[in-house]
């Protein structure tokens, strides 16, 4: 994984700007003209890097800003009444975090760094004020939220119908797609999260995760050494992830 910002100096704001950011092609200001980008850049706050396991925001915090992953990755963890943790999302570079907080005005979960990571903080009311004047930014904000919704639906379908091995296949392809989006190879990348986290996210025991990954490997669909992944046959992996028909339900066509 290449270092996007050779920030020898650890201070935040050490010469980091949207205009020169390697993520500018996929990040919010994607559609902005140079002069508009200056304005956008001015409302961003860059944090000092977070170390692995560090918490960026806590569930229940008042919502006032959104975050963009600049480098590294995060998990979003929701804690329910009984204290059960549930990972609802992984966030990769260029992805916007915290948008669900708008409605209830609180952060919906913990955001925890999976590795050394850096983020941009964007105060939401300033973002909105800017969006008012910049249609391109506004549009990108809509699209970002819309994309989020689409991804959630993908996950819903996944959890609803798929067996453990299919879930894993889907999961890896999803990561691949998102890594590709931010300029990585979609075939070779490093899983930023533990098997336990994957299991939690997909609703499986960690042993099952390990087993199913093994199975995908036996079939030569992937090659996995530790967290280093090679997708050998993306096409076949996709076929596999969509293979088995859903359960018996969903078949009977009827009106309502």
Partner DNA sequence: CGCAGTATTGATTGATTTCAAGTCAAGTGG
Partner DNA sequence: CCACTTGACTTGAAATCAATCAATACTGCG
Q: Which residues are near DNA by CB under 7 A?
A: 163-165, 194-196, 203-211, 213-214, 224, 226-227, 247-249, 252, 254-255
Contact between 38 and a second copy (CB under 8 A)? no
Least distance to a second copy, CB of residue 194, Å: 6
Q: Tokens at residue 213, please?
A: 């990954």
Residue 138 or 211 having the CB closest to DNA: 211
Candidates 6-14, 129-137, 182-190, 218-226; binding stretch for a second copy (CB under 8 A): 129-137
Q: Tokens at residue 214, please?
A: 């093994």
| Interatomic CA distance for residues 194 and 188, integer angstroms | 17
Residues numbered 132 to 161 that lie near a second copy (CB under 8 A) are: 132, 135, 138-139, 141-150, 152-153, 155-157, 159-161
Residue 103 or 226 having the CB closest to DNA: 226
Least distance to a second copy, CB of residue 124, Å: 9
How many Cβ atoms from other residues are within 10 Å of residue 255's Cβ?
3
| Interatomic CA distance for residues 74 and 164, integer angstroms | 23
Binding mask 84-103 for a second copy (x = CB under 8 A): xxxxx----------xxxxx
| Interatomic CA distance for residues 160 and 178, integer angstroms | 22
Residue 50 or 213 having the CB closest to DNA: 213
Contact between 1 and a second copy (CB under 8 A)? no
Q: Tokens at residue 204, please?
A: 């499986």
| Interatomic CA distance for residues 94 and 119, integer angstroms | 9
Q: Tokens at residue 3, please?
A: 């270092």
What is the maximum alpha-carbon separation in the chain?
Answer: 64
Cα–Cα–Cα angle for 237, 225, 70, rounded to 5 degrees = 80
Question: Which partner, DNA, a second copy, none, binds residue 227 by CB below 5 to 8 Å per kind?
Answer: DNA
Candidates 4-12, 181-189, 198-206, 213-221; binding stretch for a second copy (CB under 8 A): 198-206
Question: Which partner, DNA, a second copy, none, binds residue 146 by CB below 5 to 8 Å per kind?
Answer: a second copy
What are the DSSP calls for 95-106, one per residue? -EE-TTHHHHTB
| Interatomic CA distance for residues 149 and 166, integer angstroms | 21
Coil, helix or strand for 116? coil
Binding-site member from 11, 13, 205, 220 for a second copy (CB under 8 A): 205
Residue 13 or 132 having the CB closest to a second copy: 132
Question: Which partner, DNA, a second copy, none, binds residue 143 by CB below 5 to 8 Å per kind?
Answer: a second copy
Contact between 81 and a second copy (CB under 8 A)? yes
Residue 20 or 196 having the CB closest to DNA: 196
Q: How far is CA 140 from the centre of its chain?
A: 17
Name beta bridge partners: 110: 77
Residue 114 or 221 having the CB closest to a second copy: 114
Q: How far is CA 136 from the centre of its chain?
A: 22
Q: DSSP assignment, residue 2? A: -
Residue 33 or 143 having the CB closest to a second copy: 143
């Amino acid at each position: 994984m290449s270092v996007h910002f050779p920030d020898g100096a650890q201070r935040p704001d050490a010469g980091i700007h949207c205009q020169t950011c390697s993520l500018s092609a996929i990040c919010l200001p994607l559609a902005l003209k140079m002069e508009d980008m200056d304005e956008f850049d001015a409302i961003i706050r860059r944090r000092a890097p977070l170390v692995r396991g560090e918490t960026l925001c806590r569930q229940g915090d008042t919502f006032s800003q959104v975050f963009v992953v600049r480098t590294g990755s995060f998990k979003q963890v929701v804690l329910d009444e009984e204290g059960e943790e549930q990972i609802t999302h992984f966030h990769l570079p260029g992805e916007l975090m915290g948008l669900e907080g708008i409605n209830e005005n609180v952060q919906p979960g913990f955001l925890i760094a999976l590795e050394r990571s850096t983020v941009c903080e964007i105060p939401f009311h300033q973002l909105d004020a800017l969006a008012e004047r910049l249609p391109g930014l506004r549009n990108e904000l809509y699209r970002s939220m819309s994309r989020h919704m689409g991804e959630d639906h993908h996950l819903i379908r996944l959890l609803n119908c798929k067996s453990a091995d299919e879930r894993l296949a889907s999961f890896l392809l999803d990561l691949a797609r998102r890594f590709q989006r931010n300029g990585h190879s979609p075939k070779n990348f490093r899983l930023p999260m533990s098997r336990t986290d994957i299991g939690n996210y997909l609703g499986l025991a960690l042993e099952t995760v390990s087993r199913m990954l093994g199975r995908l490997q036996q079939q030569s669909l992937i090659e996995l050494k530790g967290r280093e992944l090679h997708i050998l046959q993306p096409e076949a992996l996709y076929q596999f992830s969509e293979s088995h028909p859903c359960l018996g339900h969903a078949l009977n066509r009827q009106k309502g």
